[in-house]
Amino acid sequence: MTVFVVSLFLPNTINFELPSSTSTTFPNRGRRTRPAAPKHAAARIETEQKPSLFAQKDITPPQTPIADIDHEEFFAQNENPELRQVFPKLNNIAPSDPHSPAWGSGRLFIQPPSRASSPPPADILKHNKTAEKAAALGRAGVRQPQSGRSVSHDRVFAHADWTVVPADQGNGGLRNAVQAAVRGGKLNDKIWVGTLGMPTDALEDTQQKQDIEDRLATEYDSLTVFCKDSDFDGHYTHYCKQILWPVFHYQIPDNPKNKAYEDHSWVYYVKVNQAFADKIVKNWKRGDVIWIHDYHLLLVPQMVRKKLPDAKIGFFLHVAFPSSEVFRCLAVRKELLEGMLGANLIGFQIHEYARHFLQTCSRLLCVEATNEGVQLEDRFVDVISLAIGIDPVALDMNRTDPDVAEWMKTMQERYRGKKLIVGRDKLDHVRGVRQKLLAYELFLNKNPQWRDKVVMIQVATSTTEQSELDATVSDIVMRVNSSWANLAYQPLVYLKQDISYAQYLALLTVADALMIASQREGMNLTCHEYLFCQDGKLEGHNKFGSLILSEFTGSASVFGGNELSVNPWDYRQCADAIKTALEMGDEEKIDRWKKLYTAVMHHTAEHWFSAFLQRLDMAYDEQHKRDTTSVPRLSLNALGHMYQDSKRRLFMLDYEGTLASWGSPNNIILTSPQRTIDVLNDLLADEKNIVYVMSGRQPEELDRLFKRVPNLGLIAENGCFIKEFGYSKWKEMPDPEKMRAWQESVEGTMRYYQERTPGSWIEKRHCSLIFHYKDADDFESASRQAGDCASHINDACEKQRVRAIPVDGAVTVEPIDWSKGTAAMKIFEGLKKNMPPNLDYTSPIDFLMVVGDGRDDEVIFRWANELDRDGTVGAVTTVSLGSRNTEAGCTLTQGVTGVLSVLQKLAAFA
Ligand SMILES: O=P(O)(O)OC[C@H]1O[C@H](O[C@H]2O[C@H](CO)[C@@H](O)[C@H](O)[C@H]2O)[C@H](O)[C@@H](O)[C@@H]1O
């Protein structure tokens, strides 16, 4: 079995070697802030290629979860010279949050320039004459020549030498997790699927391109997805960065500059997602696992599902998932949700994002969402939260590099006698660098005693041009320094460029506090790496520094309040937190750090990786068990034998959709077809048979329907009322007072939505309320209202023990504590104690048949299967109609007619 790890960027990219005279003319030749990459490429690849060293050399792999692991013991066990060979060089791994540089812009490597221009405006895209029209308007949309390059010029790349190097963009957390899983023996066979993260039009139709693809496939376990430069630019720079990234991080599009309402770059998002799906489909073999990552590829799960209905697909969202109120601003919200729902398992970093997703599906798609996942018409999609973490083993190795020690020494000398507050963040609005600096300024203003004694070092990496933010931040930096600096002291060191990995580790180790002020962030692994580096293991260090962390990061949910939690919008609170961090006594510092460190060591990258795949296996098996294509057909022959061999039989039969076709819900005088009445009477003619009919309808309706079937047992309103077999009185299961109480409040809410949905109506039953919108004038908008209505009721009514369930064209609100399952249980218990008056023998039930067609029948299938499993009933048959996934033991595809004819045949055996 191979695991396809699908992520926008491959862990490797290409570095070209051009004659120096030529290369200088290419804008992509970036400033080298790190040593030449190829040297490290080889080392990194070695790490990736090696099979589990733990497995090879009898080194004890860390068990997951490793919360209780003793730190000393853990590293002592893994301190092995062999292991060091796996991490021979620093810079083999990057920070877990590496901050990708802008695509196609000045970078570390020599790569072709992009031939993309900005995506054309929406009105241009609608027409075929794109080029002419754009040219006539003199607007972007046709490929414009750009300075420093030309199409013929960049062909030089097609003949240049090249090497594979570790990419400087992408998800470092994911890469480290894959590496840790390989090392830990949890992942034997993997294939990365992704792009090179560089423009590739210049390589079009060349042998070079083929060679690169082949080399990556054979030597680096990587399938390369090639897209046109303009497609990738539209996808990544535009749709991902300008629409999805801000919206997923709550940058609500309420200003005219925001692009969330426009969708011209959507077509590129679709194209790139499709290119990924095609690549996967082409290479997938039965048994392979597909694990797709992050917001760049939200449509891929469904695109793959369309072609490979049986594939095992997982999806993990690394960034935050916003509340439904924010998500609904996206023009293509349904497509995005449906794209994700192509997976078998969807993972989020924390519970809050998973809950938002479930709520959003319920509201916008009007589907049933439970705590476990989303019930679609024909499939269930599991939803979990599982926080990613860092790889302590690799980090431990890498920090012993002499460069780290060197940098630590330099910094200690430079900042002797000063407390250091550090940070490394991407410079965009979401990461809150501005708020952080303002808080620091306030802290210095309020605490003169600290001036001269504290330095904040802020590294700000920039991915896209954010000139306004850039200017604001620079102003603050200047203001702080001009207010409080002197010849020997600079309170704020601001580096608007990335630093080497050695400097990064040194910075985290010598710091007294780390401050993260993200307005939103999926997780934030920088603070995990910081806590790890603060363990005092490096010579001369015994830090246990404080962590000031925005409450809006995923990591805050993992740390359980042991950090100094701040709201980055509350500058006063942030300034106070800085003071607290600097003045905290050792005892409290160590106590907090220990708890935080335990959390870091519990949520490791390796644990995350293997736990997700385990959950995916479980979800897939469970979903497939229920898939009707793998559920056998009912065998009449076997059923007949069981029927004849039994002494006392119980039938539990659903009514609408099973014994009769669905009637109109507002048809007051509902009648049962004669054939149904006859079949039931035939069954009841055999005194060994006890027959119950179950329905969501009210007792009065069922009385009317079955007045010509004496002795029939009835379950009304999905289990809230029972009329026992052979009796004539109904028993109401719930307390009628309680029912009245919740109905009163829920009806008000329902009425609100109903009034806004022309053509909808409310049906009131004794124990349930139903909002019908099947015949609404505008079905689309009605289903949105219905989704909101369901979600509103579910949020408000948990205490009243009722739930709203979206069903086909309606939302049903009913009590949680009563169902067909609870009714069946009660009836069965009763049968053990009391004999129905017309039966004069005492044999226990040895034949049980349950037939149903709806989701509400699943509880009773489950109940009956349990009686089968524990041997309470000798012969149990559970039958589901239709094609929805089910827990029933077998299926019947001929609908109501099929059910009636099977029952008729059984009755004839008497
Ligand atoms: O900038 P992108 O190329 O679009 O990628 C977005 C970010 O992805 C990674 O961060 C996300 O995943 C991390 C690990 O799960 C998580 O800690 C972080 O909160 C997420 O935003 C990557 O680490 C960042 O550098 C990218 O900017």
pLDDT tens column, 579-632? 999 999 999 999 999 999 999 999 999 999 999 999 999 999 988 877 767 789
Give residue 370's pLDDT. 84
pLDDT interval class at 25 (50, 70, 90): very low
Give residue 459's pLDDT. 96
Give residue 260's pLDDT. 57
Give residue 702's pLDDT. 94
For residue 753 the two structure tokens come to: 């939505």
Answer yes or no: pTM beyond 0.90. Answer: no
Give residue 228's pLDDT. 96
Find, among 883, 857, 810, 839, the residue nearest to 693 by Cα.
857
CATH 3.40.50.2000 residue ranges of the chain are 3-22+62-385, 401-603
pLDDT tens per residue across span 515-544:
999 999 999 999 999 999 999 887 666 689
pLDDT tens per residue across span 553-586:
999 999 999 999 999 999 999 999 999 999 999 9
pLDDT interval class at 784 (50, 70, 90): confident
Ligand 1 atom 1: the closest Cα is on which residue? 100
DSSP letters, 570-587, are: -HHHHHHHHHHHHH--HH
**Domain 401-603 bears CATH identifier 3.30.750.24:** no
In the predicted structure, residue 54 carries a pLDDT above the cut 50: no
52 or 176, higher pLDDT: 176
Distance 318 CA to ligand 1 centre (A): 7
Ligand 1 neighbourhood includes 529 CB (under 6 angstroms): no
Distance 199 CA to ligand 1 centre (A): 21
pLDDT interval class at 671 (50, 70, 90): low
Could you name the CATH architecture of 3-22+62-385?
3-Layer(aba) Sandwich (3.40)
Q: What is the assigned CATH class of domain 736-815?
A: alpha beta
In the predicted structure, residue 847 carries a pLDDT above the cut 90: yes
Ligand 1 neighbourhood includes 522 CB (under 6 angstroms): yes
175 or 855, higher pLDDT: 175
Distance 522 CA to ligand 1 centre (A): 8
Ligand 1 neighbourhood includes 318 CB (under 6 angstroms): yes
Ligand 1 neighbourhood includes 173 CB (under 6 angstroms): yes
Distance 9 CA to ligand 1 centre (A): 12
Ligand 1 neighbourhood includes 194 CB (under 6 angstroms): no
Give residue 564's pLDDT. 98
Ligand 1 atom 14: the closest Cα is on which residue? 173
Distance 844 CA to ligand 1 centre (A): 61
Q: Which of 7, 103, 318 to mutate to test the pocket of ligand 1 (most atoms within 8 A of CB)?
A: 318
Ligand 1 atom 21: the closest Cα is on which residue? 319
Which atom of ligand 1 is least distant from the CA of 526?
17
Which atom of ligand 1 is least distant from the CA of 245?
4
Ligand 1 neighbourhood includes 235 CB (under 6 angstroms): no
Q: Which of 8, 100, 317 to mutate to test the pocket of ligand 1 (most atoms within 8 A of CB)?
A: 100
Distance 426 CA to ligand 1 centre (A): 10
For residue 862 the two structure tokens come to: 């489950």
Ligand 1 neighbourhood includes 99 CB (under 6 angstroms): yes
Ligand 1 neighbourhood includes 524 CB (under 6 angstroms): yes
Grouping H, G, I as helix, E, B as strand and the rest as coil, residue 482 is: helix
CATH 3.30.70.1020 residue ranges of the chain are 736-815
pLDDT interval class at 142 (50, 70, 90): very low
Give residue 419's pLDDT. 96
Give residue 885's pLDDT. 81
In the predicted structure, residue 776 carries a pLDDT above the cut 50: yes
Ligand 1 neighbourhood includes 171 CB (under 6 angstroms): yes
Ligand 1 neighbourhood includes 100 CB (under 6 angstroms): yes
Find, among 8, 506, 499, the residue nearest to 240 by Cα.
8
C-alpha 398/C-alpha 280 separation (Å) is 34
Region 250-275 average pLDDT: 80
Distance 521 CA to ligand 1 centre (A): 9
No. of H helices and E strands in the chain?
A: 34, 29
DSSP letters, 6-52, are: EEEE-SEEEEEE--HHHHTT-TTB----SS-HHHHHHHHHHHHHSPP
Ligand 1 atom 25: the closest Cα is on which residue? 99
pLDDT interval class at 103 (50, 70, 90): low
Give residue 262's pLDDT. 60
pLDDT tens per residue across span 297-340:
999 999 999 999 999 999 999 999 999 999 998 989 999 999 99
pLDDT interval class at 46 (50, 70, 90): very low
Give residue 877's pLDDT. 97
Ligand 1 neighbourhood includes 389 CB (under 6 angstroms): no
463 or 773, higher pLDDT: 773
Region 695-716 average pLDDT: 94
pLDDT tens per residue across span 326-378:
999 898 999 999 999 999 999 999 999 999 999 999 889 988 888 899 988 77
CATH 3.40.50.1000 residue ranges of the chain are 636-733+818-909
C-alpha 820/C-alpha 831 separation (Å) is 16
Grouping H, G, I as helix, E, B as strand and the rest as coil, residue 468 is: helix
Distance 321 CA to ligand 1 centre (A): 13
Ligand 1 neighbourhood includes 97 CB (under 6 angstroms): yes
Pick the CATH number of 636-733+818-909 from 3.90.110.10, 3.40.50.150, 3.30.360.10, 3.40.50.1000: 3.40.50.1000
Give residue 69's pLDDT. 38
pLDDT tens per residue across span 205-235:
889 999 999 999 999 999 999 999 999 999 9
C-alpha 403/C-alpha 502 separation (Å) is 6
Distance 99 CA to ligand 1 centre (A): 7
Give residue 97's pLDDT. 80
Per-residue CA distances from 647 to 91, 215, 895 (Å): 75, 71, 28
Per-residue CA distances from 907 to 84, 248, 432, 894 (Å): 75, 60, 73, 19
Region 800-812 average pLDDT: 89
Please tell me whether the interface predicted TM-score (ipTM) of this complex is above 0.95: yes
